[in-house]
Structure 1
């Protein structure tokens, strides 16, 4: 049986390609290696544009046919920007704002919804609290809007998925990168691929980095090793094995306090901590095995198992308030050991019933996550848990040590889910509809008092969308999707007597939009959306001391982007988002009418590269954010800012290229992120990074 899929790979968009069977189990790199990729490959392109929408559907679907906003950052783009970690790459994504993450983890707001856990690696959950590197990543995908059918719990504002580099059984290659900046930070990286036998290949990505910036005392280092092996067992079967070891050690920098409703000025380089105490350490092991098999020409199955082991620790002295002459500091330590096991399977069928074409998905996901977490108080001497110090260029902070244990918890999370989805196509109209069932069981023990509590939530999550294509290169869509978040929060470490008795929070995303392939390598999108969050905890007005689920918030907005090659030697990634969000019904943290935290009304980004010749190119970028509140208290405002970046690229020959990146070109003073009202991170001043790339 044959049917048609419209696709384009790595910068080509929306071309009709007939296929029977799965000839593309062959050699493309990232886009289809972690999901079914039954696509005829006619060539790969470099650039900033990608048309693979398979992550959003778990089926081989071109991005133009996905009724959802998806932002993609390709490896070419973050290489051109000299970016090595996820948080920095997300600065250029419209609709995403950054949290400081307490100086030790990735934490973002997507469409106004905060998350520390909605991070994925090759479509599988990677939700521990740490900072994620890019040395082994082929691209980053940011999928906007709630969609539990594909991803399960959480993801109220969206999710962030990293696609791994994979082994190529056809070509041997080697690449080496090195760079250093004017602060003294440097990075070394290697990318080695080697065919080992017919249809078998191994690839190794590795990196070593040392951190530095303008902040006093900040330093650290990162070691990453990521081998992968791919084996094509005949024309219909492929097995891929992945392993990643990440080892991160850095000073924990919690930023600066606020004063008079804004960031404390004049102390952007001052470290509000104890450099001998403030330390964050991460060790992450992630192992994954995936099987892809074509049962028939129109029916395929994939099965993936993942084991992840995280050891996380951070200690910090943290600013809690300031006056014109003093700062108050407190602190704590926190440690987490987590092991997670996930198995996911998908069955994908493509065929027709009369004139109607179908892409049918049926799948399941199950897993267990065990977490032990503890926290200690701080001791500045004599049992003092806070200290007031005089403001100065360098603070005189008393030596801090870990104090008594203040929290110790153990939890076991078990989850199982099943889902089904059908993508129906007849003429210029496509429909997508499906539903997911999740059973989510959490058992936790608070070791203080030996309080053991359990809760099981069972939820149905529907998704529906319609796509109308008046022309092959244009799609108009509308969609509805939901998600949920258990009241224990996105890290699920412990239940208390309140959260154990409450239903999960609910998210509902409504969206209409358009996608247009202006050329095969230039993709434009625009969308209007409304995201409602309900079942948020609020104080019971009739029974003081009790909690009810009446809190609500809403975010409405508009998003537009243009990504790809404007001309053969000119490519760009442009984006704009308008966001308006507020508390509609009072929550335990804010009354109705408050604007949501870290939700700038206007956000724009632009990055462009122009190749003057075959050997010389120039890059220019800018990020703009209007003012935003540091927290839902609406008491502290982060001012609006514009930051400009620039780059120059020069190829010495076919194998060696040089690169210079200037960050914050005009040395703007700005405050891009916060974690509450008194952990505000100043942006780095002007900095230049020099790099060299070698390809063999």
Structure 2
């Protein structure tokens, strides 16, 4: 039934492509508009003031045109930028004002030429100040990405489903965490993460490691804050060719805020339900034409609707950008971040459902359940554009993580009739040091009528992890690893001792990676594009187990991750695509803390994605995407449904699904983001004592739907309304505990008090629905928050 439904959807897309082929055989209109069009096409541009060379590259990408650019003619020239809705030619004229250059159209391409009579080497001229008033377009719609291909590519020319959470959406929804950010992203869910780390479910695959920042692996288990983030990109499916280790069911890439030549002085003050207090600062300063600096900072102190649960965090992130020439850019950044919170594992289950207790009830002891982490990271980017047209990019990331968490939690289901359950306890200390360096070369060339955008690169990295787990024993008795308590009195004051047992993790692992990759984006025809790439990863894992087993294992894996995609565009604004991609995830560090480590365990997991879809830019500021996919996972680690300290190997699982998303501007005053996903996942083989063949993958609802709308009644007053629906799902692989479906409604009000001060009020769970936000296993289920209100004041100076 699943396969037949999947086949029907593929057949539907095949019919659409066949109809589109008929369209492409008809006589072609001119580039700008069909011959019967009375109104020239408007496109939305967001190009800041700066060097003309970079502005024209952005223009060609945002307009979707071919623009032949001669860097020599543009050397030293600047522009006032272009912001708003323009036709192609007037927009180019605005960008080129005062430069002595003009653009000539030749068929479907545009070429830069000098204005007749202009001096060959004009003197430096101060351009007139021009103020452009534009509507609030592209609030939720992104145009392009540099993450999915490592080249600046229009989203509709990338053969995979991608959701972008813009900076405006982050502000409008008052988003503070990755878990909040993906609530309106189809195909991605939130996992509990044992109450101490980010954990997402990409197309049925839970991950705590597929997180990146500016395209570099951000591999540590903690809750990330978004105070220094400009936008979030969620890429679905296997992404091994681009990301290497990681990119299994999908990845989340955070794009950080950089210092630029657009001064910013923004301060945010927030307060809300459960004694929440938060302050952020975003200050950017232009030193001169060569250098700019920026500082982002955050402090937050908050309680919770859960008894005894609180959190406190502090972060600071300075950045400097230097442009010694118009061809060279250097960015240096560091971050110091600390997060201290209560580790909350939620509530247990009873008779196949979450136990019926008040949403605030804690199980264990909140005073002795805590998680804290210190993060120190340094990042750099060096980019240089050579006269030959080659662009060199080098990124380096060095980071250290020092994390400790301890929890006392429910580790059994409630016993029916007796209303008793068991508590368990353990703590875990992890230190990690990461060093990654990535170098890319980009080049565009023509081979006859065929256009190529080439990318080749090398990445080297080293990750060293030390991990030690201590199990908890109650009442000074090393035989008492579980403590039975009544459901009505689920918090314990019993003394607990922590010891490392012979079977508990006491590990050191070192991962060295060397990667080579190459990719070609090929335009065979204006209507037909291909993307082909391959990555070779050499992974070396040195694993030492220092407990009683004293294991010392080494692996050396040479892995090849291909990617192939085809994009067909019957008209410029619509693309049909099909893609094939693979990814491998070698195991090391945190993945090895709950399993007996053998050579078989160290064998990498393999992910394979088949995907087809359609992308339609209904307007430059409104995008619709649909995708059909099949994702296979082999040699997978599966958690024990009732014991978080134990994991098992399974031969594999398969997820099939359909997702549709819409983002952008429906009218000049109405912005929207949301989507629908239908997903079915099952184990392709039995797991001894855990799951039968054909069992449903845990944490995978069949239906999810979400939509967020913002409507501006006047330039000073607006409101938003959001709906989230998640269908029911199983908590784990054994399919014995079902998490019920829910519908949650959110709302917001926006007011511009002055030209520099705006206020907003966000209401989460407006109708106070009872629901369960996330799970980790059958015994750890997180209740959703009751109605919560946050008031925010944003001041710009």
Unpaired segments of 5 or more residues in structure 1?
Answer: 30-38, 539-546
User: CA deviation digits over 1:95-127, x for unaligned, max 9?
Assistant: 111111010100011000111100000000001
Query: What residue in structure 2 maps to residue 605 of structure 1?
Result: 706
CA distance in structure 2 between the aligned counterparts of 1:381 and 1:314, rounded to whole angstroms: 21
How far off is 1:480 after superposition? Answer: 0.4
Query: What residue in structure 1 maps to residue 217 of structure 2?
Result: 125
CA distance in structure 2 between the aligned counterparts of 1:633 and 1:552, rounded to whole angstroms: 15
How far off is 1:17 after superposition? Answer: 5.4
| Aligned-CA RMSD value | 2.6
**Cα distance, 1:189–1:232 mapped onto 2, change above 3 Å:** same
Query: Are residues 1:82 and 2:174 paired?
Result: yes
Specify the SS of the correspondent of 1:402.
strand
Given that residues 46 and 76 in structure 1 are in contact (C-alpha distance below 8 angstroms), is that contact kept between their aligned partners in structure 2? no
Alignment of 1:172-571 (within 5 A): 172-296=263-387, 298-321=389-412, 322-324=414-416, 325-383=419-477, 384-392=480-488, 395-404=491-500, 406-427=504-525, 428-449=527-548, 450-488=550-588, 491=591, 497-499=597-599, 503-536=603-636, 551-571=651-671
Given that residues 364 and 492 in structure 2 are in contact (C-alpha distance below 8 angstroms), is that contact kept between their aligned partners in structure 1? no
Higher helix share: 2
CA distance in structure 1 between the aligned counterparts of 2:692 and 2:410, rounded to whole angstroms: 26
TM-score (norm. length: structure 1): 0.92
For 1:20, which of 69, 72, 75 is the aligned residue? 69
Given that residues 399 and 435 in structure 2 are in contact (C-alpha distance below 8 angstroms), is that contact kept between their aligned partners in structure 1? yes
How far off is 1:403 after superposition? Answer: 3.5
User: CA deviation digits over 1:570-622, x for unaligned, max 9?
Assistant: 10002110001101122454221100011100011111100000000000111
Figure out how many residues of one structure are paired with residues of the other and give that number: 673
Specify the SS of the correspondent of 2:183.
helix
Specify the SS of the correspondent of 2:488.
coil
Unpaired segments of 5 or more residues in structure 2?
Answer: 1-30, 32-42, 48-60, 82-90, 96-131, 639-646
User: CA deviation digits over 1:259-307, x for unaligned, max 9?
Assistant: 1101011231111121221010011111111100001252101011110
| 396-405 or 146-155, larger mean C-alpha shift | 396-405
How far off is 1:426 after superposition? Answer: 2.3
CA distance in structure 1 between the aligned counterparts of 2:324 and 2:184, rounded to whole angstroms: 40
**Cα distance, 1:48–1:537 mapped onto 2, change above 3 Å:** closer
Computing the radius of gyration from Cα coordinates, the structure with the larger value is 2
How far off is 1:456 after superposition? Answer: 1.1
Given that residues 160 and 236 in structure 2 are in contact (C-alpha distance below 8 angstroms), is that contact kept between their aligned partners in structure 1? yes
**Cα distance, 1:554–1:410 mapped onto 2, change above 3 Å:** same
Larger RCO, structure (CA 8 Å, separation 6 or more): 1
Specify the SS of the correspondent of 1:171.
coil
CA distance in structure 2 between the aligned counterparts of 1:294 and 1:615, rounded to whole angstroms: 43
TM-score (norm. length: structure 2): 0.81
CA distance in structure 1 between the aligned counterparts of 2:395 and 2:299, rounded to whole angstroms: 29
**Cα distance, 1:131–1:536 mapped onto 2, change above 3 Å:** closer
Specify the SS of the correspondent of 2:615.
strand
How far off is 1:489 after superposition? Answer: 7.7
**Cα distance, 1:114–1:164 mapped onto 2, change above 3 Å:** same
Given that residues 555 and 602 in structure 2 are in contact (C-alpha distance below 8 angstroms), is that contact kept between their aligned partners in structure 1? no
CA distance in structure 2 between the aligned counterparts of 1:497 and 1:400, rounded to whole angstroms: 28
**Cα distance, 1:628–1:413 mapped onto 2, change above 3 Å:** same
Query: Are residues 1:71 and 2:163 paired?
Result: yes
Query: What residue in structure 2 maps to residue 585 of structure 1?
Result: 685
For 2:194, which of 80, 98, 102 is the aligned residue? 102
